[in-house]
Structure 1
Amino acid sequence: MADPSLEISLQATNAEPQQIIDRLVETWMAGHDTRVAEWNRCQDEEAQEEEEMRLVHAAREEEEHLARQVEEENEHLESEKKKPKMNGFNVASTIGNAIAPCPSQYAIQKLNNFEYIELWYFSPNGCKEAMKMSCSIADNTFSLTKLD
């Protein structure tokens, strides 16, 4: 809004044209300066608001990033908890030299089929007999070998 005291009176007809022109230029310059000052103030306010918005956005992104890191760390800890843990290693422990006897494949197959089988197959004598009778294909076959 313009300053009403700077308005030119139309009844001032006795003034010279140059004075009127000077007065009009002076009035226009004053209005122009106030509009430029208002424009600059608005631009500064907008720049401040944009900077505040940028800072808020950056803070929100930082919070989200930290929340994601905490969540990933928690997931990692949960997955570590779920992993099976290996028991401690005892250097002084010994390992036996004998293989524990187990029932024959015939007895195991009967059990899988839910068929009747005598208990002798699961006794120590039955397991020893199964070990004597079990032999792999490689034990009873001939094979070709290459010598260097």
Structure 2
Amino acid sequence: MKCLKKKLAEFRRKNLGFIFQEFNLLEILTVRENIAVALTINRENPLIINERINKLCKKLDILDILDKYPTEISGGQRQRVACARAMITLPSIILADEPTGSLDSNMASVFMDTLQKINNEDNTTILMVTHDPFCASYANYLAP
């Protein structure tokens, strides 16, 4: 049983990314540290961690806030940090719970474009729960 739990935890760390509605960022860590948590737990090389963070944060336009704390950045920036944290391990699946729930319509559009880009360019499956018709319009498949 213990071995199975370990294998499930490893599977989640390596294959799944989570974007929570309420961000769930650790306020005592900087943006950079929040994004790096999963790779640090996986004992990834620090040079690789920094390379991935810089590349991903450039794509999400949050390079300039890496040394700030979650309380020092906007809601839209927090959402993009949460997205980066979900994507940093290069998961095959991202689970997103109402990912635009706290964003204004302009930032929601930018954010959904980013998720679509990740889906198309990185071949990442995104399973999203939403009540927002705008977000649902980005889906390749809608469950009945």
TM (norm. structure 1) is 0.16
The structure with the largest alpha-carbon Rg is 1
Higher strand proportion: 2
Higher helix proportion: 1
TM (norm. structure 2) is 0.17
| Bigger RCO (CA 8 Å, 6+ sep) | 2
